[in-house]
Amino acid sequence: MTSTARPVTIATLKKMKEEGKRISMLTAYDFTMASLLEQAGVDVLLVGDSLGMVVQGHSTTIPVTLREMIYHGTMVARAAKRAMVVVDLPFPHGQLGVNKTLIVAARVMKQTGCHAVKLEGGAEQADTIAAMVNAGIPVIAHVGLRPQSVHALGGYKVQRDADKLQRDAMAAQQAGAFCILMECVPQDLAKLITDSVAVPTIGIGAGPHCDGQVLVTNDLLGLTVGRVPKFVRPMTNLAEQIQSAVEHFNSEVRSGSFPNANESFD
């Protein structure tokens, strides 16, 4: 299905918003998972700095390095045929000012083969967004709860400052961001912003009124270690299936029944 489908582009996402078609986005950190998500028809693969928590076991996204984002982004881009690939700019590279951030974003695009980058911030990042867009680098703006600023925000909390959220969204759009990701925003406010901007909005913990939705794939598949956020709806429980398969493997090995003659070479 996906091998013959047309690639998802900025124009594709804009048309989907105009036609009321919902956009699906999921995180991917490696070739295998990206290939599976690609084959399942996901529109956008996000190489999120959430890998710091999901893959590396950190309590925040802050420790993730630029080199690590490029490493994982390259693997995901290699798997994508139809899906758009977006790579996060890790802390603090998205907050170093226009020139330095532009250089980093260009490096990410060039070395990973991704199609766009995601930058945390809205109004305060307008000049940086505009510079990247003018340089030919498509940008998704991330507003609301910004995980890289979790300490400054006082923790992982719902963001309810309507004036700031609307100001951030409008500034990001005016600067040239082709999409706005809203995290942990009250649903009525997310709807107000979605209706007021011409670019697509993607929600995570922002209710059902956004133009699309994104989740961390491990949360979706029931692979999360620890607490699952309120806004997650696990679609299966792979953790139980994996544990069961490994326990069966252990049993077969210890009993001597694996490998058998058909699984061995003469």
Residues 92 and 120 grouped into a single domain = yes
Note the pLDDT tens digit of each residue in 125-141. 999 999 999 999 999 99
Note the pLDDT tens digit of each residue in 13-61. 999 999 999 999 999 999 999 999 999 999 999 999 999 999 999 999 9
Residues 155 and 266 grouped into a single domain = no
Residues 28 and 101 grouped into a single domain = yes
| Within-domain flag for 1 | no
Residues 69 and 191 grouped into a single domain = yes
Q: What is the pLDDT at residue 227?
A: 86
Burial 106-144 (b: 16+ CB within 10 A, else e): eebbebbebbbbbbbbbbebbebbbbbeeeebbbbbbbb
Q: What is the pLDDT at residue 150?
A: 94
Residues 37 and 126 grouped into a single domain = yes
Mean pLDDT value of segment 209-225: 96
| Contact in structure between 43 and 85 (CB atoms under 8 Å) | no
Residues 72 and 88 grouped into a single domain = yes
Q: What is the pLDDT at residue 5?
A: 83
Q: What is the pLDDT at residue 137?
A: 98
| Within-domain flag for 208 | yes
| Within-domain flag for 262 | yes
pLDDT exceeds 50 at position 2: no
Tokens 């330095």 correspond to what residue? 100
Instruction: State the CB neighbour count (10 A cutoff) for residue 243.
Output: 11
Note the pLDDT tens digit of each residue in 170-209. 999 999 999 999 999 999 999 999 999 999 999 999 999 9
pLDDT exceeds 90 at position 264: yes
Mean pLDDT value of segment 93-114: 97
19 part of the active site: no
Residues 242 and 124 grouped into a single domain = no
pLDDT exceeds 80 at position 113: yes
Total tally of structural domains belonging to the chain: 2
Range of the domain at 190: 10-235
Q: What is the pLDDT at residue 1?
A: 47
Sign of CA dihedral 185, 90, 233, 33: positive
| Within-domain flag for 209 | yes
Residues 89 and 189 grouped into a single domain = yes
Residues 246 and 170 grouped into a single domain = no
Of the residues 18, 120, 124, 183, only one is catalytic, namely: 183
Cα 259 to Cα 240, 241, 244, 249, 262: the distances in Å are 24, 21, 18, 10, 8
Domain with residue 201: its CATH number is 3.20.20.60
2 vs 52, more confident:
52
Q: Which of 205, 171, 167 is nearest to 186 (CA)?
A: 205
Q: What is the pLDDT at residue 76?
A: 98
Cα–Cα distance measured from residue 67 to residue 130, given in angstroms and rounded to the nearest whole number: 24
| Within-domain flag for 163 | yes
Residues 170 and 253 grouped into a single domain = no
Residues 151 and 102 grouped into a single domain = yes
Q: What is the pLDDT at residue 225?
A: 85
pLDDT exceeds 50 at position 236: yes
Residues 256 and 212 grouped into a single domain = no
